[in-house]
Amino acid sequence: MAENATAEKIKKAGLDRPLEEFKDDFLERKPFAEKIFKIIESNPLDLNIRIGINGPWGSGKTTVLNFIKSFCEEGKYPYANFNPWHYSNPEMAWEGFALSVDSGLSKWKKKKMEKSKK
């Protein structure tokens, strides 16, 4: 019970917010995220891979994902964010997955078109 109270205090204080900018990375998660990105980037297009980010609460999983997203954006790659925990049944999860991929590709295409106009 004390653990939950401590976790709530940390959340309220904003100490468990995932990082989005490299400059705030004092625990050096950027090199780990960069290694994962390089694996993704060097993967042949005809080979499907799956990468899992696993760790306990507060260990920086979302920060690593945010950093991978930043590398994707810098490298001009599409990125889709999907969280299956937001859905109560498989049908809704599949619909959410499809919408997430569509949204990620649409944002990527829009940025690509804006840059080509400049």
- Please give the radius of gyration of the chain, using alpha carbons only, rounded to the nearest integer: 17
Burial group, residue 22, by CB count within 10 angstroms (0-12, 13-18, 19+) = middle
Work out the number of other CB atoms within 10 angstroms of the CB of residue 93.
Answer: 16
Residue spans per domain, the chain: 14-77, 78-118
* Cα–Cα distance, 76 to 57 (Å, whole number): 31
> pLDDT tens string for the chain (118 positions)?
455 666 666 566 566 789 999 999 999 999 999 999 999 999 998 988 889 999 998 899 999 999 999 999 998 889 998 988 899 999 999 999 999 999 999 999 998 888 777 6
